[in-house]
Amino acid sequence: MDALGLYNYWIAIVLMMTGFYVVVSRGNLVKKIVGLNIFQTSVFILYISMSKVSGGTAPILAEGFETYSNPLPHVLILTAIVVGVATTALGCALVVRINEAYGTVEEDEIQSQDQEA
């Protein structure tokens, strides 16, 4: 088959793994949040790229157009984007409070402070 024709899936997977790797490997809490964001964005691309109908226009009713792209994934992704924004905001609020409580946002320093206590 044409693996190159499925380039949208390749992009989604590369982004997904990049985001996941950042979450797992980086010790800085803010970087983890950024990694989580990249991970979630890959999911958005996966959904929206699958909704495109070849030859279809944007899913808004208009005169003179017969084929439209599938609007359902767009709606699902709007919801998922809101969830992503809320998660990021909550994560950042936690990081601000952690910074105030521990004085640092590096995971290993936080763990060593907890172990001393």
Partner 1 sequence: MIAAHLPALQIVVPLVSAPLCLLLRRGDLAWALALAASWAALGCAALLLQQVLSTGPISYQLGGWAPPWGIEYRIDVVNGFVLLIVAAIGAVVLPYARVSIAHELPEDQHAAFYTALMLCLTGLLGVTITGDAFNLFVFLEISSLSSYVLIALGRDRRALTAAFQYLVMGTIGATFIVIGVGLLYMATGTLNMLDLAERLPPMAESRTVLAAFAFLTVGAGLKLALFPLHFWLPNAYAYAPSVVTAFLAATATKVSIYILLRFFFTVFGTAYSLELVTLENLLIPLGVAAILVCSTVAIFQTNVKRMLAYSSVAQVGYMVLGIGFASTTGLTAGLVHLFNHAMTKGGLFLALGCMVLRLGSVQLDSLAGLGRRMPLTMFAFVVGGLSLIGVPLTAGFISKWVLVQAALEQGNWFVAGVVLVGSLLAIVYVWRVIEAAYFRPAPGGDPAAPNAAAPGGEIVEAPLSMLIPTWILIGASIYFGIHTSLTLGVAERAARFLLGGGA
Partner 2 sequence: MQRHLVLRVTTKLLMPFILLFALYVQFHGDFGPGGGFQAGMIFGAGFILYALVYGIDSAKRVAPAGALRVLISAGLLLYIGVGYAGLALGGNFLDYGVFSAQAPKGQHLGIFLVELGVGVTVAATMVTVFFNFAGRGRD
92 binds, among partner 1, partner 2, none (CB under 5 to 8 A by kind): partner 2
Give the span between the Cα atoms of 7 and 15, in whole angstroms: 12
State yes or no: residue 91 binds partner 1 (CB under 8 A). yes
Binding string, 45-84, against partner 1, x = CB under 8 A?
Answer: -xx--x---------------------xx--x--xx--x-
Q: What share of the chain is helix, strand, coil (3-state, %, to 5)?
A: 75, 5, 20
CA distances to 43, 76, 80 from 69, in Å? 18, 14, 19
Q: What pairs with residue 68 in β-bridges?
A: 57
From CA 31, how far away is CA 72, in angstroms rounded?
Answer: 32
Identify residues 65-84 at the interface with partner 2 (CB under 8 A): 78, 81-82
Nearest CB to partner 2, comparing residues 20 and 105: 105
Q: Which of 11, 95, 104, 106 binds partner 1 (CB under 8 A)?
A: 95
> Which residues make up the interface to partner 2 (CB under 8 A)?
60, 78, 81-82, 89, 92-93, 96, 100
